[in-house]
Amino acid sequence: MILIDPPAVPRWDRLWSHLASDTSFDEVHDFAAAHGVPARGWDRDHYDVPADAYEALVAAGAVPVSSRDLVAALRAAGLRRPKAAARHRSHD
């Protein structure tokens, strides 16, 4: 299933949603390509999509969920790819 969370992440003077699959990366890549989401929007385990694309992606079949539920679905499917742990700072 393709999931999308509400546009709530501010960046570059816009709000952004996350588009992901709870099944496979292939599923979300195929959905994104079919609906004009640029490949450059891919970020480890989801696509970042601008708020103005939200309604069209929901109309195309993406299921609206909370951000928390989207992350939980990625984890449950074994698809979550978190950012690398912060590097340890050297102490003076």
Give, for all 92 residues of the chain, the pLDDT tens digit: 999 999 999 998 999 999 999 999 999 999 999 999 999 999 999 999 999 999 999 999 999 999 999 999 999 999 999 887 434 444 43
Give the residue extent of every domain in the chain: 2-76
**Alpha helices, DSSP H, located in 1-92:** 25-34, 54-59, 67-76
Query: pLDDT at position 62, please?
Result: 98
Give CA–CA dist 2/71, Å, rounded.
13
Q: What is the pTM of this model?
A: 0.87
Of 41, 47, 6, 40, residue with least CA distance to 25: 47
Contacts of 22 (CB under 8 A, 6+ apart): 1, 3, 73, 74, 76, 77, 79
